[in-house]
Structures are given as C-alpha cells and as structure tokens.
Amino acid sequence: MIKLPNRIHLANLPTRIERLDRLSKELGGPQIFIKRDDQTGSEISGNKIRKLEYVIQEALDQNCNYLITCGGIQSNHARATAAASSKLGLRSCVVLRSSGNDSLEGNYFLNKVLGADIEFISPEDYKERRMEIMDEIKARLIKEGHRPYIIPEGASNGIGTFGYYTAMEEILEQEKNMGIKFDAIVLATGSGGTYSGMFLANKLLGHGTKIFGINICDNAPYFQDRIYGILQESFSYIDKTIDFSKNEIEIIDGYVGEGYAQSTSEELEFIHYLAKLEGVILDPVYTGKAMYGLVNEIKKGNFNKYKNILFIHTGGLFGLFSKKDLFFS
C-alpha cells in the first residue's frame, strides 16, 4: 500500500456497480457492468468530484479561499467545482468556452444558481490561452485580497489523479463482494485524469485488468502524451513510480464524431435506446460517445476475449438538457 495525499470527503461513496443484463443479451458477447459514478451526489454528481476531493484539499492546505477553473459551457467539472466551493464556504470563478449565444440551462444555469463568477472566452482563446487567462484572473483576485487556487480543466493533474486511484481500490473491494473480476474497464477520456488514476492504481496494485479509454475529442496520440504527463506529475505526491510506456495507454479512437460536445444523430439515438432498454441515461459529451463506441467495438468482435467488462458512468445528466431539441426533431 502507498500513502496517498490527504483528501476532503464530499462524494457519496462507494458508488454501485450494476449489470446491464438486457444490453449484454442483445449484444450476445461479454457481460457488461456499469459503475454509477453519475451518482456521487446531486449538485456534485459525476466523476469530477472524486478528483476534486484531492485538489480542493490541497487548496485548503495552502489556505486558499477562491477556486478558479475552466471548461465548456456545459462543463460538469465547472459545476461540481462551483457546488463544492459553495458547500465549503469558498468563492469560485469558472471560465467557460462559449460562442456567445448559449441558452441559460443545464450546468451553465446551475453555475449561476450556485453563485459562481462566470467569465466567457471564445473557443479560440480557450484552446490557446485558457491557462494564461486563469493566471490573469488569479493575479487580479490576489490584488483584491483573495487567495486563489487554479484547478486545470477536469481537475486532471497530478493531485487529481488520486481520485480514480481510490476508485480502483473501491472496484477491487466490490469485485470481492460480487465474486467477479472485471477483465476490462472502459471509460470516456476527455482530459485524461480519470484514466490516469485508474491506470496508476491498476499498475501499483497489480490488478492486471485492461483499462480502455474512448476519446471524445482530439485523438489517441494526444491522450497518450497527456496521460503520460499527468502520471509523471502524480509521482511527486507519492513515494513510488511505475515503469510504463505510452503504448500501454490504451485509447480507442474513432468515436469523436462531430467533435467535443457535438452530437451526431446516431449518438443521440443510442442514448435514447439505452435509456429505454436499461433505464440508464448517458450524457451527450462523454458517456454517450464512449458507450456508443464500446457497443460498436463489441459488435466488431474486438472485445471477444473479455468476459466481464466494467463501464464507468462518469455522469453529465445536466448537460443532456441542452440537446433536448435534437432528440425528437
């Protein structure tokens, strides 16, 4: 066992693991299970809060009182950060990527309800200058007498990695209780932190399962580089490292579709299909694309050698409402 960094406890844990019987039967392949990290809370729901437990603890240890972060207009991470900040009596500023004509709904609406300061930047500035812009906000807040702390996109950094290290520990305990072993774990990959934590724990705990990320933006080489960097940063927090190559970081490419937060009709039809089949609602940005990808990979025979597959439901329900007009048009 390694000594992990300290964390604040905010999420409702452990989250359930459920078997998707009807989907598994329809596919006629491996048994598919789903870990309900969409149920980590209500205001803080989704995978981000696991990472934020470690990140916010570091901010508190540094006596910070203002959290700055960034994301898309429907960012689950920004909303979870705003909610956790309010819960802890901190202030928050969320820098959101916007084209300028967004409806006040979903996570964007909740950010306002939760009292976050909101700053909008263009997609171009978000891609090229988001860290610079957050640094500028930090400098301004310091001048105003605040003690700000910057959280990167998705809380995907060295300290945030441990949110999904502990999630893997949780899964191992659930495997024992269920009398089962998951020989493959599949998750959406959008900023790399969730995958990094699972990969690190899988290595250090000697579990030997296969961790697959399905990228919902960019491409496989980008995420292999990104995850490699996050893992290197995480080593500064613990007394161990792991030997690994970028080729061990398994990213299944080909399901980005129209791009980040953009939905094809096939993806939305699949979300509707699974909701009717299993009573599980996926989101259009992350889990909808990733589960759609997993199901298609199973149909292609690429998961035939796996018996039990665990899919991580990383949340995102609130972001679905911004797509409502596309579902039944």
Catalytic machinery residues: 75
Number of residues in the chain: 329
- 154 in Cβ contact with 71 (< 8 Å): yes
Burial letters 240-250, b for 16+ CB under 10 A, else e: eeeeeeeebbb
